[in-house]
Amino acid sequence: MSTDTSPLLEVDGLSIRASLRLGEIDLLKNVSLSLAPGEVIGLVGESGSGKTTLARAVLGLLESNVWVADGSIAVCGETVSTPTLNQTAKVRGQQVGMVFQDASRSLNPLIRVRRQLAEVLTRHVPGITKEQITERSARVLERMRIADPDRVLDSYPHQLSGGLRQRVAIALAVVTEPAVVVADECTTALDVTTQAEVVTLLRGLAADLGVGLLFVTHDLMLASDLCDRIAVMYRGEIVELGDVEQVLKNPGVDYTRRLLAAVPRWNEGVPARHA
């Protein structure tokens, strides 16, 4: 793991606007955060607070009526997005990987896993050889703790269980060894056991490989388990950003207190990892 701690992702004063039939609205207002190597930041907040908009901006996947109005996004020290610059496609897939809620958004149902991994590698790693593709594909499945990699490589997505499909989706996101992974509600559709497995895998990517992870979730319990820091979003702004323990045990703003109060199990005590 690299000892360099300069930020992998730096979002600085980002404002995002959308045009609607009746005029323009702010989706994000003056959002700033930076993600260090090996760090996991959880983006939490109620529905509509702007979590996905921020994730999509980092990925350069804003919809056509949405644009960067102010501020900047830099990946590994290189500015990739400002109101007048959009270089996000250059880093997406290569330096920034993405995992969505629904594995089927990441996976092509008509292509076997082996070829999907090969296609991603061929697209993003210039000059990669067949042997290197085979070696990297096997390595990433091993990292995803997939016990029978040959069967999985030879399968179409529908032949795999939901949990396995999501692990393959993560494998596709990280096979190019990106510096940053953006995961948007990527565990929501999974049962609790599979969710825990995926969280362990994601934590391993950060701890072992130094990947920076931006983890979008509704689930404060999950965020408390996985994240080092938490950014609380409300109406397009980050209203609180701090170490997970500080934010959860000693929230600085009323909105975070209300979010915590809405989690039934929270009242039974802060989860063990932060007790």
Ligand X SMILES: Nc1ncnc2c1ncn2[C@@H]1O[C@H](COP(=O)(O)OP(=O)(O)OP(=O)(O)O)[C@@H](O)[C@H]1O
Enumerate binding residues for ligand X (CB under 6 A). 18, 20, 27, 45, 47-53, 63, 65-66, 218
Q: What single-letter DSSP state applies at residue 109?
A: T
State the nearest-atom distance from the C-beta of 25 to ligand X, in Å.
7
Answer for the pair 27, 18: CB distance below 8 angstroms, yes or no: yes
Q: Which helix (H) or strand (E) holds 3?
A: none
Give alpha helix (H) positions in the chain.
51-59, 88-91, 103-106, 113-124, 130-143, 149-153, 162-174, 192-209, 220-226, 244-249, 254-261
Question: In this structure, what token pair is assigned to residue 149?
Answer: 């990699």
> CB-wise, 209 or 221, nearer to ligand X?
221
Closest CA to 186 of 208, 158, 214: 214
Neighbours of 135 (CB within 10 A): 12
Least distance in Å: CB of 75 to ligand X? Answer: 20
Closer residue to ligand X, CB minimum distance, 76 or 182:
182
Answer whether 37's CB lies under 8 Å from 9's CB: no
Q: Which is nearer to ligand X, 15 or 49 (CB)?
A: 49
Tokens for 120? 């991603």
Residue 140 or 182: which CB sits closer to ligand X? 182
Sign for the CA dihedral angle at 56, 59, 61, 62 comes to positive
What minimum distance in Å lies between the beta carbon of 49 and ligand X?
4
Distance of alpha carbon 164 from alpha carbon 7, whole angstroms:
31
Nearer to ligand X, 32 or 134 (CB): 32
Beta carbon of residue 52, minimum distance to ligand X (angstroms, whole number): 3
Least separation in angstroms between CB 50 and ligand X: 4
Min separation Cβ 235 and ligand X, Å: 9
Eight-state DSSP code of residue 115: H
**Distance in Å, CB of 41 to ligand X, minimum:** 15
In 10 A of CB 247, how many CB atoms?
27
The answer to whether 16 and 68 are in contact (CB under 8 A) is: yes
* Identity of the residue, 73 or 144, whose beta carbon is nearer to ligand X in the bound complex: 73
Question: In the complex with ligand X, which residue's Cβ is closer, 48 or 83?
Answer: 48
